[in-house]
Amino acid sequence: MLLGGAIGLEREIKGKPAGLRTNILICVGAALLADISVRIGLINGVRVGDPGRIAAQIVVGVGFLGAGVIMQSSGNVTGLTTAATIWVVAALGTAVGAGFYVEAAGTGALVTVVLAGMGRLEHRVRRARRVVSCTIRAKPHTALDSIEATFAATGIHIIRAETYDHPEDRVFELRLAGPASQYDVACDTLLRNTAVLGIHVG
């Protein structure tokens, strides 16, 4: 309850789908199943079965919970951190149920620090200026102005541009600079343009 609750409280404060009660239930449930798994193979103190047979199914079962919180919309995937949290909370419960208290406590502390403290760092990294090369394949006679306007709307600027015309298409070799988090947004917008045939950023 303490380990699952500590992580669940942080998730609850941030308004995530898997909050306090969810993480406590997953952690306690995994602990119970791990404890049963270890004990069920003992008869009069003699091991007659595999101690991991039930605990192994926790990993599979919790995958269904994780998959349920991952959403995809308009090219954006959300819920991955919540799914990973559910997975690691189940692992914490399994460790406690198996008697590995020190490992569980240490992992719980690390997970809490990661969830509570690294959000700002992640946000700064996504906003950091990033320079990349981009190749855009478009229909013949497509103007660079329309592509440049799309990038500019997301805060990305073209540093250098070269255009290569072929009978079947026009290829733009671009050097871009802008916030790291905006490249996917700009590419998704460009791909909805019927004149754009393909984009490669690298």
Q: How far apart are CA 156 and CA 111, in angstroms?
A: 34
pLDDT in tens, 67-112: 887 776 555 567 778 888 888 999 999 999 988 999 999 999 988 8
- Show which of 117, 151, 177 is a domain's final residue: 117
- Show which of 117, 146, 178 is a domain's final residue: 117
Q: How far apart are CA 86 and CA 99, in angstroms?
A: 20
Query: Are 84 and 134 found together in one domain?
Result: no
Does residue 122 belong to any structural domain of this protein? no
Does position 132 have pLDDT exceeding 70, yes or no?
yes
Query: Are 139 and 87 found together in one domain?
Result: no
Q: How far apart are CA 121 and CA 100, in angstroms?
A: 31
Query: Are 149 and 72 found together in one domain?
Result: no
CATH number at residue 157: 3.30.70.260
Does position 38 have pLDDT exceeding 70, yes or no?
yes
159 Cβ contact list (under 8 Å, min separation 6): 131, 175, 176, 177
- Show which of 65, 84, 117 is a domain's final residue: 117
Would you tell me the crossing angle of helices 20-40 and 2-13 to the nearest 10 degrees?
Answer: 160
What are the DSSP calls for 99-142, one per residue?
Answer: T-HHHHHHHHHHHHHHHHHSHHHHHHHHHSEEEEEEEEEE-TT-
- Identify which of 26, 11, 166 has the alpha carbon closest to the alpha carbon of residue 87: 26
Q: How far apart are CA 1 and CA 26, in angstroms?
A: 9
Question: Which domain, by its residues, includes 11?
Answer: 2-117
Query: Are 59 and 147 found together in one domain?
Result: no
pLDDT in tens, 159-170: 999 999 999 999
Q: Which residues pair with 46 in a beta bridge?
A: 43
Query: Are 93 and 143 found together in one domain?
Result: no
Query: Are 42 and 100 found together in one domain?
Result: yes
Query: Are 30 and 98 found together in one domain?
Result: yes
